[in-house]
């Protein structure tokens, strides 16, 4: 079944719990400067409005990293749709990182690529990805295709409503 890591910006406060869960799950050695596979940050615009984000691999449908890798390390999982990898043949050429529009792939001390694999082993065992399991406000969820489509429809309807409201407020005379 196809699955989605879904991020709801409105519920996120960039608290970092997801990033810590990722570190704990993957034994990220932060003291040695290693970074988790998920990051949170807060953006403040000029007017002082705050936006909160949690970002990891987007698991793009048409993933540029898969095409960019000369060694065939990266694959799209036929079942779930996540972008998975086996770095046995990785030559550390960074092509995947250059292909990725989000700069997601990183490289370990062994020179090989690593990134979020949506905790695929946990999912296989019937468990949620670590970041989703922990998210205190429900900003991160794991959705099925059906739930994802419904969610997108809801978002679109909400956006249309907001635009309509803005439009009705504007005086075009």
Partner 1 sequence: MTDLDRKIKAKIPGPDTGIEIRHTLCDICSPGMHCGINAYIRDGKVIKIEGTDGHPSNDGKLCTKGLSNRQYIYRKDRVKTPLLRTGPRGEGKFEPISWEDAYTKIAENLNQAKERYGAESVVFYSGYSKWYRQMLRRFAYAFGSPNYGCESSACYTAAFMAWKTAAGDQGGPDMDHSDLFLGWAFNPFYSSYRGAEYAMKRKEEGLKFLIVDTRKTPASEKLADLFLQPRSGTDGALAHAIANVLIKNGWIDLPYIRKYVYGFDEYAEYVSHFHENNIEEITGVPYHKVAAAAKLIHDNPRMSCNESSAPLCHHRNGFQNYRAVMALLAITGNFDRKGGQFLTPHSYMHVPCGFKTREEEYQYETCPKHAKLPVGAERFPLWQYLEGEMQAMDLSRQILEKKPYPIKAVFALGFNARMFPDSGKMLHALTELDFFVDTDLFLTDTARYADLVLPACSSFERGEFKPYPGGLAWYTSPVMEPLGESKSDVQILTELANYMDLPDEQLKEGYESFIQKYILDDYNIRTEKLKEASLPVKIAEVSPPADYASLDNGLLTPTGKFELKSKIIEDHPEWGLDALPTYLSPLDDADREAYPFTLTSGSRIPNALHSRIHAVPNNRSLRPYPTADMNRTDCERLAVTEGDDIIISTLRGSITVKVHPTSTVPEKLVNLYHGYTEADVNSLMDADHLDPYSGFPAYRSTRCAVTRRA
Give contact residues for partner 1 (rule: CB under 8 A). 10-11, 13-17, 19-21, 23-25, 28, 30-31, 40, 44, 47-50, 52, 119, 121-122, 125, 127, 130, 133-138
The least CB distance from residue 31 to partner 1, in Å, is 5
CA distance 123 to 126: 5
Sorted by sequence, the CB contacts under 8 Å of residue 120 that are 6+ apart come out as 77, 80, 82, 84
Beta carbons of 117 and 84 less than 8 angstroms apart: yes
Residue nearer to partner 1 on the CB measure, 76 or 122: 122
Residue nearer to partner 1 on the CB measure, 92 or 138: 138
The least CB distance from residue 141 to partner 1, in Å, is 12
**β pairing state of 3-7 and 140-144:** antiparallel
Q: Which residues on neighbouring strands pair with residue 143, listed in sequence order? A: 4
The least CB distance from residue 8 to partner 1, in Å, is 10
Residue nearer to partner 1 on the CB measure, 19 or 65: 19
CA distance 17 to 2: 26
CA distance 29 to 114: 14
The least CB distance from residue 136 to partner 1, in Å, is 4
Beta-carbon count within 10 A of 115 CB: 21
Residue nearer to partner 1 on the CB measure, 35 or 64: 35
The least CB distance from residue 117 to partner 1, in Å, is 9
Residue nearer to partner 1 on the CB measure, 87 or 95: 87
């Amino acid at each position: 079944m196809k699955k989605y890591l879904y991020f709801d910006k409105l519920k996120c406060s960039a608290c970092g719990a997801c990033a810590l869960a990722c570190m704990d799950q993957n034994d990220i050695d932060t003291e040695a400067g290693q970074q988790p596979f998920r990051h949170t940050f807060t953006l403040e615009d000029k007017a002082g409005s705050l936006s909160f984000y949690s970002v990891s691999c987007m698991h793009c449908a048409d993933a540029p990293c898969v095409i960019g890798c000369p060694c065939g390390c990266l694959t799209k999982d036929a079942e779930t749709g996540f972008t998975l990898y086996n770095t046995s043949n990785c030559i550390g050429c960074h092509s995947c990182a250059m292909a990725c529009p989000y700069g997601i792939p990183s490289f370990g001390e062994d020179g090989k690529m690593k990134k979020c694999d949506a905790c695929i082993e946990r999912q296989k065992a019937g468990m949620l990805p670590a970041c989703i399991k922990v998210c205190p406000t429900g900003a991160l969820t794991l959705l099925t295709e059906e739930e994802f489509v419904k969610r997108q429809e809801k978002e679109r309807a909400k956006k249309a409503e907001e635009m309509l409201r803005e439009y009705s407020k504007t005086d075009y005379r």
